[in-house]
Chains A and B, each alone.
Chain A
Amino acid sequence: MIPDASTTPGGWLLPLAILMPFVGVLAGLALGGRHARSVAMLTIAAGLAAAIAIASAALRMGDSLVYVLGGWSPPLGIALRADGIAVAMIVAVAVVITGIGIYARTDFATPRGVGEARAPMLYWMLLLAVWGSLNLVFVSGDLFTLYVALELLTFAGVPLVCLDGKGETLRAALRYLVYALAGSVLYLLGVVLLYAQYGTLDIALLAPRVSPGAATWTAMAMMTAGLLAKTALFPLHLWLPPAHAGAPPAASAVLSALVVKGSFFIVIRLWLDVAPGLVGLPAAQLLAGLGAAAILFGSVIALRQARLKLLIAYSTLAQIGYLFIMFPLAFDGATGMFVHGDALNAGILQAISHATAKAAMFMAAGLVYKSCGHDRIADLAGIARASPLTVLTFVFGGVALMGVLPSGAYLAKKLLLAAADGSGQWWWESVLVTGGLLTTSYVVLVAAQMLRRPAADAPPRASVPRPQELAALALALCSLALGLTAVFGPVPSSFLGNPLAPKELGATLMTIAGGTVLALLFASPLPPLPAALSAVASRSRRVTLPLGAVLEGIDALLRRWAVAGVSLLLVALAFGLLMHGDV
Chain B
Amino acid sequence: MIVDAFYAAPALLILALGVYTTFVRDTFPATVGFLAYGLLLTVAWVQLHGVDVALTEAAIGGGLTGLLLVRASAKLRATEAGARAQRPSLALRLAAAVLCGCVTLALAITVLTLPDPAPSLAVEALAHIAPTGVGNPITAVLMAYRAMDTLLESIVLLLALVGVWSLAPDRAWGGRPGPRYNADPDGILAFIARVLPPIGIIVGVYIFWVGADAPGGKFQGATIVAAMWLLTLMAGLSDVPPISRRWMRVLLVAGPAVFIAVGIVGVITTGTFLAYPDGWAKPLILVIEFALMPSLALTLGLVLAGAPERPAP
Contact = CB atoms under 8 A, between A and B. Distances in A.
Interface in A12-55: 12, 15, 19, 22-23, 25-27, 29-30, 32-33
A562 B274 contact: no
Contact of A566 (B99, B109, B147): B99
Contacts of B92: 562-563, 566
A197 B115 contact: yes
A158 B121 CA distance: 35
B119 A197 contact: yes
Contact of A32 (B156, B170, B249): B249
A196 interface: yes
A565 B155 contact: no
Interface stretch (B14-22, B29-37, B46-54, B253-261): B253-261
B256 A145 contact: no
B253 A115 contact: no
Given A26-B253, A565-B96, A116 B174 contact: yes
Contacts of B125: 76
A154 B110 CA distance: 28
A145 B110 CA distance: 24
B88 interface: yes
Given A75-B121, A213-B113, A215-B114, A155 B159 contact: yes
Given A116-B174, A119-B170, A155-B163, A70 B156 contact: no
Interface string A105-135: 0000000000111110110011001000000
Interface stretch (A365-373, A374-382, A386-394, A570-578): A570-578
Contact of B273 (A12, A29, A165): A12
A506 B189 CA distance: 80
Interface residues of A, number: 71
B148 interface: yes
A562 B88 contact: yes
Contact of B124 (A76, A125, A129): A76
A193 B106 CA distance: 12
A566 B118 contact: no
Contacts of B95: 566
B25 interface: no
Contact of A29 (B106, B120, B149, B249): B249
A198 B170 CA distance: 50
A328 interface: no
A159 B103 CA distance: 31
Interface string B137-167: 0000000111111001101101110110111
A218 B110 contact: yes
A381 B59 CA distance: 60
For the residues of A in contact with B, the DSSP-based class is helix
Nearest to A126: B162
B238 interface: no
Interface in A143-175: 144-145, 148-149, 151-152, 155-156, 158-159, 162-163, 165, 170, 173
Nearest to A26: B253
Given A15-B273, A75-B121, A116-B173, A155 B160 contact: yes
Contacts of A163: 166
Contacts of B156: 148, 151-152, 155
A147 to B, nearest CB: 9
B244 to A, nearest CB: 6
B145 A72 contact: yes
Interface in A541-581: 560, 562-563, 565-566, 569-570, 572-573, 576
Given A76-B128, A170-B167, A196-B118, 9 more contacts: A25-B155, A29-B162, A117-B173, A129-B162, A148-B153, A152-B156, A165-B168, A196-B119, A215-B113
5 contacts: A7-B272, A70-B272, A144-B149, A199-B119, A213-B113
Interface of A: 7, 12, 15, 19, 22-23, 25-27, 29-30, 32-33, 67-72, 75-78, 115-119, 121-122, 125-126, 129, 136, 144-145, 148-149, 151-152, 155-156, 158-159, 162-163, 165, 170, 173, 189, 193, 196-200, 213-215, 218-219, 560, 562-563, 565-566, 569-570, 572-573, 576
